[in-house]
Amino acid sequence: MASDGVTDLAGGDILDVAEKIRKVDPSDMLGVLSSMPGQVRDAYSLPRPKLRIPRPASIVVLGMGGSAIGGDLLGACLLEKGGPQVIVNRDYDIPAFVDKNSVVFAVSYSGNTEETLSGFAQAKKRGCRIVTISSGGKLNELGEAAMHIALPKGLQPRAAVAWMLVPMLGVLEDMGVADVRTDVEEAAGMLEGMMKELAPSVPASKNLSKEVAAELHGTFPMIFSGPLMAPVAKRWRTQLNENSKMLAREDILPEMDHNDLVAWSEDPMAAHCAVILLRDDAEHPRVAMRMELTRKLGLDRARSVREVRSRGKGTLARLLSTMAVGDFSSVYLAVLRGVDPTPVRVIEKLKKQLAG
């Protein structure tokens, strides 16, 4: 039996045993992840409100958890297109600058996220233009029917990111903020190819996400990126939290070189960490140089360091391709750890206690 726990007692790779995967993943989270290309295309085709207004002074996304990641990705997409800055509000209160000149997306897959509902009420009082996005719940009931985007039911919020992200891109495209049709089609096509590469039927020796899962198993994962890929680094971390049921951490360059690097060069805990560097061909050349120097001056003390590179030309394809590797890795890591990736019982327990 291998010391990393990847190989089972019979001598076969656990991640290549379909029965083992089905046993640990009875709700088929891997199957849900495999539907992402279709999610991207279908989400772009959802009926959506037409906002015939001038370029907004600000775009604000109200959301938490899996519902907020879409806002982070939206901001990254508009960053390269020269669109307005996107503020993702993960709080009960909205910023003071949000007013009638703001476009607000209130996003909650369940429609019942209390922080989002609180922000929605404040945005409505200030006369903001609000688009609600949910699969039902109070958000659907409180929002204007003509300004609501209805999502399919029955998914975990973290498995519905494309459903929540792409409609926002569509609304902004209709407003003339950004042209995204080509980006959506490229991203969907890119993901179709990746689903074949990352599928459970592909052996660990040829499956990037299985390789990553094996490297992260038994470690404290650290996910690092440049600014554009920061939302994806956060996504990797939260997927490891929820699917793999393990602690993880993310950080961003160049900022981490001004503090975190010192700990890497001296803390013996570095030997227990596995590092993932999310790389993008369009990253700033100085960030690329920092990645290499940071690796030599501190990250080389980690148990392992692996680069995962984005694919595609458009921002959306590059973001989602890198995200897909992390999503699949988190479920394969759950299999190695013997934990069901789907339930998040402690979050449900917290919600019940807050409600009580």
Residues involved in catalysis: 242, 258, 351
Structure tokens at 16: 């290549």
The whole-angstrom distance between residue 58's C-alpha and the CA centroid of its chain comes to: 23
Nearest-angstrom CA–CA distance, 250 and 259? 14
Dihedral in degrees, nearest 10, Cα atoms 144, 145, 149, 150: 130
Distance between CA atoms of residues 216 and 237, nearest Å:
12
What whole-number distance in Å separates Cα of residue 42 and Cα of residue 21?
Answer: 28
Strand partners, 102: 58
Is residue 94 within 8 Å of 192, Cβ to Cβ? no
What values do phi and psi take at 98, rounded to 5? -70, 120
191-198's contacts with Cβ under 8 Å and 24+ in sequence apart are 191/36, 191/37, 191/40, 191/320, 191/321, 191/324, 192/37, 194/311, 194/321, 194/324, 194/325, 195/34, 195/36, 195/37, 195/324, 198/324, 198/325, 198/328
Mode of pairing for the β-strands spanning 304-309 and 148-150: unpaired
- The whole-angstrom separation of Cα 200 and Cα 198 is 7
Structure tokens that stand for 245 in this block = 């049921």
